[in-house]
Amino acid sequence: MSVADLQYILGMIGTVAFAVTGVLAVSPRGIDFFGACVLGLITAIGGGTIRDVILGVPVIWAADLNYIWVALGASFLAFLTNRHMTRKEIFKTMLYLDALGVSMFAIQAAQKVMWIDFGMPIAPVLLGVLTAIGGGLLRDVLAGQPTLLMRREIYAIPVTLGCILFVALVTWLPQYTVMISIICSVLIMSLRSAAICWDLHVPLWLTIQPKENGAEDKKESDSPPAN
């Protein structure tokens, strides 16, 4: 299998996974067929579109319309099947499919950036992460729910680690690019799935906690009025 073939396979798997999550994200609130397809499509191609615009290359779905048809087909199937799932099942399925999507898109993007020798060695990591989480961020914003990136869940960390490892290994061992791609994709998927399964979170000392409105209001009321 060539690197180009692997890139295509990773991209298609990620497209299916993200398109389905786009539909599942809003299905508990109710959505019509057209809205489901639009949201699934945006989720599937959003991150890759941003990446290609930054790289200044033809947008991947414009060069190959199969990405559009696959995303629409996956969205349609998700629309038909989600009504047979409970709210809890939908949420869990969405999280695991999101993990699959980010693991595929992150490595595919890092491969593409390295292939055209853009901004080495930092850009493959940055654009790998951006591509992986970009579609999910668009999905959550359009669905009107808190994004996974804004929660304490371990989300972007596995993607970042996987991209760093991929760039380092391929730089040293370019002849094993295909094997390294598969290993790093599995690593990202495994770490993210473990975080979902065992409800792992970033430690509190590495987070900024929201301020309590009551405490802030009390401080303001206790302070003397300005002259």
What does pLDDT average to in each consecutive run of 10 residues of the chain (227 residues)? 89 96 87 91 96 95 96 95 87 94 97 95 96 92 85 91 97 96 97 94 80 54 49
pTM of the model: 0.88
As a whole number of angstroms, the distance between CA 95 and CA 98 comes to 5
How many residues in total does the chain contain? 227
DSSP state of 112: H
As a whole number of angstroms, the distance between CA 6 and CA 182 comes to 9
How many CA atoms, within 13 angstroms, populate the side-chain half-sphere of residue 222? Answer: 6
- Among 22, 10, 175, smallest CA distance to 94 is for 22
Cβ contact 132:28 at 8 Å = no
At 24 the pLDDT is 93
As a whole number of angstroms, the distance between CA 164 and CA 36 comes to 34
Place of tokens 């397809």: 37
At 221 the pLDDT is 47
Q: What is the CA radius of gyration of the chain?
A: 20
Residue 153 phi/psi, 5-degree rounding, is -65, 145
3-class SS shares of the chain: helix, strand, coil, % to 5: 80, 0, 20
